[in-house]
Amino acid sequence: MRIGPYDISPSLVVAPMAGVTDRPFRSLCRRMGAGLAVAEMVSADPRLRDTAKSRQRTDHAGEAGPVTAQIAGADPQWLADAARHNVALGAHVIDINMGCPAKKVCNVAAGSALLRDEPLVARILEAVVAAVPVPVTLKIRTGWDHSSRNAVQVARIAERCGIQALTVHGRTRADAFEGAAEYDTIAEVKAAVRIPVIANGDIVDPEGARAVLRATGADALMIGRGAFGRPWLFREIAHFLETGERLPPPDAREWSAIVTGHLDDIHAFYGEHSGVRFARKHVGWYVHGLPGGEVLREQVNQASTSAAQRAALQAWCVLLVAREQSDPAAWARSAAPLPRPAYNNHRTSAGRERARVEEMHR
C-alpha cells in the first residue's frame, strides 16, 4: 500500500489509541513488524496545544518514518492550523479522526459525531488537504448508528477532497467497541473508491487477518486491541500472509527482552512518576493469561518506583526462562494468550461486567 510517496510495507498499521499508542509503544510495534504507526489523537483546539499531554503526544524524536499524527476537532480552520503545526513538529502524514466514539469528543461535535454532517466533513477535508504539503488520511466508522450508516458516502467525499487513504473501523458510533465488526460495509467502501482502504476491527490473529483481507478486499489492516501485550502480532501476521505459515510465539528469553525493553522505554519517556503509572497497564497486558502472571502484575502495580518495577520484572523473567527450559511444551501452550476484549470497554455495562469477572479471576 502507498500513502502519497510512502510505501507502507508490510501493510499493517498500528491504530491510534489514547493512552496506549505513545512513542514507546509505536516504536516497539514498528520493530515488531508494523509498516506504519499512527500517533495518539491530539486536539485541534489551539488552547490545548502546549499542554503536557499534547507535547508528549507530538514527540516523535527518533521515531521511524513515516511519522503519522492524528488530529481531532470540528472547526475546519482549527484543524488546518493543527495540521500545519504537526507537520512543523515532524509529521509526514496527517490523519483526521472522524471515528472516535468517546462522549467527550462527540459532545463537541468531533470524532464520529462528524459523520452526521457530511457538508462539514467536506469542508474539513478540503481545508486540511489545502493546508499542508503532506498526505492527509482519514479514519471513520461505518456511521453514527445502524439507521444511518453512511461510510460509502463519506468515503466518496474523502476521495473527491484529496484524502489519500481511508481507514474504516467496522462499527457505528453507537456500537462503541461492542459486537462484531461489519466487514461487509468495509467491502462496500472499498468497491466505491479508488484510494487505499484500511480495514480496522477485531483483528487478533494471523488467520483472522487473512480472512478480513479476503472479506473486504482492503489494501491494509489496522490493528489496535489485538496487539495489547502482543506487539509481535504484527510480524506473525506479516509472516502468515506471505507464507501461509504460523510463526512460533517469542520464547521466554525474547519475551523477557521485549517486555523489559518496553518497560525501560516507558520509564525514560514519561519520567519516574508517570512512567510507573503507565507501565502498570502494559505489564498487565503482557502477563494476561500466563501462568503465575497475576503475581507479577500485582508486584508491578504495588511498586512505587521504576527500579522496583524493573526488579520485579527481572526476577519474574528469570523464573519464566527456567520454567520454559524445564517444560517447553507448557510455555508454547501459554505464550500466546488471548488479548483483552477492549482497552476501554469499561464505558459500557457489558464491558464493566467483563472487567469485573476478569478481575475476580486474577
Task: Name the β-bridge partners of 54.
Answer: none
d(CA 152, CA 202): 20
Q: How far apart are the first and last CA of the chain?
A: 41
Helices 118-131, 76-88: crossing angle, 10 deg rounding:
30
Cell triple for 292: 503465575
Distance in angstroms (rounded) separating the CA atoms of residues 42 and 196: 24
Main-chain dihedrals φ then ψ at residue 277, nearest 5 degrees: -70, -45
Is residue 297 a contact partner of residue 259, using CB atoms and an 8 Å limit?
no
DSSP secondary structure of 117-177:
-HHHHHHHHHHHHHH-SS-EEEEEESBSSTT-B-HHHHHHHHHHHT---EEEESS-TTTTT
User: CA 258: distance to chain centroid?
Assistant: 18
Asked if 275 and 267 touch (Cβ cutoff 8 Å), the reply is yes
Question: Is 161 an annotated catalytic residue?
Answer: no
Q: List the Cα angle 124/85/144 in 5-degree steps.
A: 30
- Contacts with 289 (C-beta within 8 Å, 6 or more apart), sequence order: 334, 337, 338
Catalytic site residue from 100, 106, 161, 317: 100
Backbone angles phi, psi at 134, to 5 degrees: -110, 165
Active site residue ranges: 100
